[in-house]
Amino acid sequence: MAALVLATATTAAPPTPSPPSNTTAAATTNTSTPTYCVPRAVTPAEQSEIFAAFVQEFYVVRNVANAFKLYVVADYIQHNPYEPPNGAAGSAEYLTPIFSNLSIGVEVLHQGFGGGIGPVAIADIFEFTDSCVKEHWDVTQELPADATNPLALF
C-alpha cells in the first residue's frame, strides 16, 4: 500500500496513460452497472502514472464518475465527515455535481475558488491498494482574518 498526496495544482497536464488493464470495457460504457478498479500488482512508477491519470480525470477534466470507474475500488473508504462514508458509487454520485459546477482557477501554485469561499489550503491524501485508490482523507485550513504569520498557508 502507498499513500499519495495531492497538495498543489499546476497548469501543465500530466501525461495520461491508457486506462489500467484491470478495468473492463464496462467501466467506460455501462452506466447502469459500473465496474470499478480491480487491484493488480504494479511498480511504484506505474502507480505514479495511475495516480497522475486519476488526478487528470478527476480534477482537470472533472469527470468524477469516469475517474472512479477507472481508478477507484468499489469498496472505497471516504474519511471526510461530510461525504458518504464508503463505496465508490456513493462518493462519485455525491462529488459529480460539485466538481462539474466548481469554478477553479489555477495560477502558478495558488488556487482560487468561486462562490464566496475565501483563501483556503486543501490537501487530499489517497491510499492505494496496488493499482487502485482505496481510501481518501482531506485536510482543509482557511486563512484566518487575523493571521500574524506572513507565510501562513501560502
Angle between helices 44-55 and 64-71 (to 10 degrees): 160
Q: CA-to-CA distance for 75 and 136, rounded, in angstroms?
A: 12
**Which segments of the chain does DSSP mark as H helices, in order?**
26-29, 44-55, 64-71, 88-100
The domain made up of 2-142 has a fold known as Nuclear Transport Factor 2; Chain: A, (3.10.450)
Q: How confident is the model at residue 18 (pLDDT cuts 50, 70, 90)?
A: very low
Tell me: pLDDT of 139 over 70: yes
Residue holding cell 486563512?
Answer: 143
Among the ranges given (11-15, 16-20, 102-106), the one the predictor scored with the smallest mean pLDDT = 11-15
Give yes or no for residue 109 having a pLDDT over 50: no
* pLDDT value, residue 46: 96
Q: How far apart are CA 17 and CA 56, in angstroms?
A: 10
More confident residue, 78 or 119: 78
Q: Which residue has the higher pLDDT, 1 or 96?
A: 96
Report the percent of the chain where pLDDT is more than 70: 67
pLDDT for position 122 = 82
Q: Assess whether pLDDT exceeds 80 at residue 8.
A: no
Q: Which residue has the cell 489555477?
A: 106
Asked whether the whole model's pTM tops 0.75, one would answer no
| Domain locations along the chain | 2-142
**Residues of the chain above pLDDT 90, percent:** 41
